[in-house]
Amino acid sequence: MKQQILELLSEIGNTGIFINDIQEKLEIPDDKLTELIDTINSLLKDYEIVMNKKQKYFLSKYFNIHKGILRINKKGFGFVDTNDLENDIYISKYNLNSAMDGDEVLVKFDEAKSEGNILRIIKHGMKELIGTVRRNSRFHYYVEPDSEKINERLTVTNLDEFNVVDGHKVRIAITKYEPLTGEIEQIIGHEKEPGVDVLSKLYEFNIFPEFNDAVERQLDTIPEEVSEEELVNREDWRNEWTCTIDGDDSKDFDDAISIKRLDTGYELAVHIADVSYYVEENTAIDMEAYSRGTSVYVVDRVIPMLPFQLSNGICSLNPNVDRLTLSCIMEFSFSGNLLDYRIVESVINSNERMTYSNVNKILDEDEVLLKEYEQCADKFFIMYELANKIRYDREERGAIDFDTTESKFKVDENGKVLDISKRERGEAERIIEDFMIAANECIATHMKNLDLPCLYRIHEQPEPKRVREFMAISRTLGYPFKGNANNVYIKEYQRLLANAKGTDEYSILSTFMLRSMSKARYDVNCVGHFGLGSEFYTHFTSPIRRYPDLIVHRSIRKYIFNHKLDPEVLANDLIKLEDIAMQTSSQERNAIDAERAVEDMKMAEFFEDKIGNEYEGIITSVTNFGMFVELPNTVEGLVHISNLWDDYYYFDKEHLSLIGELKHRTYRLGDHVRVKVQNASKRTSTIDFVVINKKKKEQKKKTFDKPTKKTRQETFDNPKEKKEKFYARYEKKSRTNKTQFKTKRKKHS
């Protein structure tokens, strides 16, 4: 009845409806009137609907009451992400009403003030938190929450039950939210112990390395080798040349490639580990994989979705052993067009465990490796040939190759970062990416054409507001965006990136382009993938590390191989898939946030002993409080506006620039600057820079350039001394502006 009422009110819109009209339209008999009233009261209590003075009922959104997830900033304010509004709702720290980061809340939006007020907490998102044990001056122990988003005092009720010392990292289960109260569940370790920092950060995001006892018991039933009985009705590819291509440090291999030339073109077989054969629905391992959603890759470790006995064992396509697979066998023409395909249960025996670096060297005709792999070197050149044709065809459809920069960390056995560099992406990485995309598109097309329940990977068109913001940024960088923000052509994005390729602005442009787009997610409705230019797309190729891929495998086995096509079964499966889509999309975002948090922490730790070092960098973002500068090794730091001592700077929002009022020195996106490390804090995961000088560089033609005045550059060890010299010089030179300077000096102080 709740669902019927909500659907009716949605159809009615903002005109509202009386209760007797609800009864009439839903054809509810008088003997069920009490149930109707109770249901309406329940919806009112949950703020799903509201009633006006005339006793008409409306959906809450027509009274600017919305449901969403609260995300709190380090400074105390927050934003509520809702599904029915284009923009997030700003919440000041005075209107949080005890809500915490991650809570699902009801918020009343005040359009006049452009901010909201939390009405009620629907569900608390934070069940646990990570803290550090501290000892005060009276030798009493207390727990300080690690998250800067928690500004409340934490009371721990069972501290005396644990033998804690100053510096212990602990996991706290929240027992009460007002006031914030909890109990210690686990001592993670001491903050100075190797690896405890990363482990604490993972726990903060509810990512746990350990598997529960039920999973451990089920692992005893998983075989270590493939038996002959399991090969019945499987297509045998063990005599065909097959190889895996992965990173140097990879331990789990869930995809392998077989390729050969035909008279009509090419045959490409993408073999994917048949995880669904070993992980059956509703088992302990399956429920744990559903909960995790994805594997998490951080600086010095992997938190797998599946236990190592599966991910590195029987499910991993290790070389020279039989492995069960699902294979998508595709036939392409010499021009790269897909002619035919088959989806089969199969068995393979991988001939080679290849790495990206070695394949790249072979393609560069490295004589040593060509001799070492002379039996199969020609296969990699065939792969290169086909991949380029597939990629060209995809680019003609408008697919965007963002080629975003990633950080590569070199760590010692204790997890200490020795070096940070930019991860290079070679031709071998592109080849595998092209082949995996081709297989994903093929599977999605097959499932869509059969109209079977499936979990699709979708990427919707970007929102007009975000497109307009990106237009301003691209124009500032000297790459004007052509077109209408309300109807974006994907090829325009492609054109911009192609024009910026090889320039300093490329990484900035591609980063802001990504931010302007909708987030890719999982859904049961196949609406296409905007970024790839794909009409049909899913995730099929990584079932070891992504739960959606495992679900797609399960659907293929259930409907295509086992022919379970009862309409009632299909309808129930569709409902289950909707839940899985929401869960896996949420867990994917959580994993990305955790990976970034660990990287930020480790970058800050790496720079803690580099205070005073100078580096060349590029301005990647400009805000009203300063600018972010990225170094060649991908590390980014903030130059706060208060540390620009040579002038008063104001933020030009239109051109995303900081402009000096007196000397007109301008800092823009893409400008090169020399910076010095002023501060770095592992605890807050922040790095602060100060500008040494602005390096001159030839700018692209811009109509808004302002004249600059050359001034003598002065450097002082003491920032206060620098300010005093600055004010003294200009007060002496400019008598007419003396009053103005005194006012600004006072304000600045």
How confident is the model over 234-249, as pLDDT tens digits?
999 999 999 999 999 8
Distance CA 342, CA 464 (A): 40
Reported as a pLDDT band with limits 50, 70 and 90, residue 213 is: very high
Q: What pLDDT was estimated at residue 703?
A: 41
Q: Picking from 166-175, 349-358, 394-403, which range would have the lowest pLDDT averaged per residue? A: 394-403
Nearby residues of 232 by Cβ (< 8 Å), 6 or more positions away? none
End-to-end CA distance of the chain: 63
Which residues are CB-contacts of 516 (< 8 A; sequence separation ≥ 6)? 462, 466, 467, 469, 470
Residue of 249, 293, 303 whose CA lies nearest to 590 = 293
Cβ atoms of 298 and 351 within 8 Å: the answer is no
pLDDT digits (tens, 9 = 90+) for 316-349: 999 999 999 999 999 999 999 999 999 999 999 9
| Lowest-pLDDT range of 124-128, 383-387, 684-688 | 124-128
| 500 Cβ contact list (under 8 Å, min separation 6) | 477, 479, 506, 509, 510
Q: At what angle do helices 567-607 and 284-292 cross, to 10 degrees?
A: 60
Which conformational region is residue 76 in: left (phi greater than 0), alpha (psi within -120 to 50 degrees), or beta? Answer: left
Structural contact between residues 23 and 4, judged by C-beta atoms closer than 8 angstroms: no
Mean confidence (pLDDT) of the chain? 88
Token pair in block for residue 603: 């970058």
Overall pTM surpassing 0.85 (yes/no): no
- Mean pLDDT of the region 586-611: 95
Q: What is the CATH number assigned to the segment(s) 128-193?
A: 2.40.50
Of residues 747 and 675, which shows the higher confidence score?
Answer: 675
DSSP annotation of 73 reads -
The matching CATH number, chosen from 1.10.10, 1.20.5, 1.20.120, 3.40.50, for 2-61 is 1.10.10
Domain limits, the chain: 2-61, 64-123, 128-193, 216-422, 440-599, 608-713, 723-749
Query: What is the DSSP annotation of 684-699?
Result: TTEEEEEEEEEPP-PP
- How much is the pLDDT for 728? 53
Report the run of H or E that residue 184 belongs to, with start and end: strand 181-190
Predicted confidence at residue 725, as pLDDT, reads: 54
Q: Which residue has the tokens 């007109």?
A: 664
Residue at 25: amino acid letter: K
**Interatomic CA distance for residues 521 and 735, integer angstroms:** 62
SS3 call for 161: helix
pLDDT at 706 over 90: no
List, for residues 424-479, the tens digit of each pLDDT value. 889 999 999 999 999 999 999 999 999 999 999 999 988 888 888 888 888 888 88
Please count the residues of the chain.
749
Distances 47 to 18, 60, 103, 335, 561 between C-alpha atoms, Å = 17, 6, 16, 58, 46
Q: Is a pLDDT exceeding 90 seen at residue 377? A: yes
Tokens of 613: 């070092």
Q: Could you give the CA distance from residue 47 to residue 286 in angstroms, rounded to a whole number? A: 35
Fold assignment, 608-713: OB fold (Dihydrolipoamide Acetyltransferase, E2P) (2.40.50)
Task: Kindly indicate whether the domain formed by 64-123 is annotated with CATH number 2.40.50.140.
Answer: yes
Phi, psi of 40 (to 5 degrees): -65, -40
User: Is 64-123 in the same CATH topology as 2-61?
Assistant: no
Q: Is the pLDDT of residue 595 over 80?
A: yes
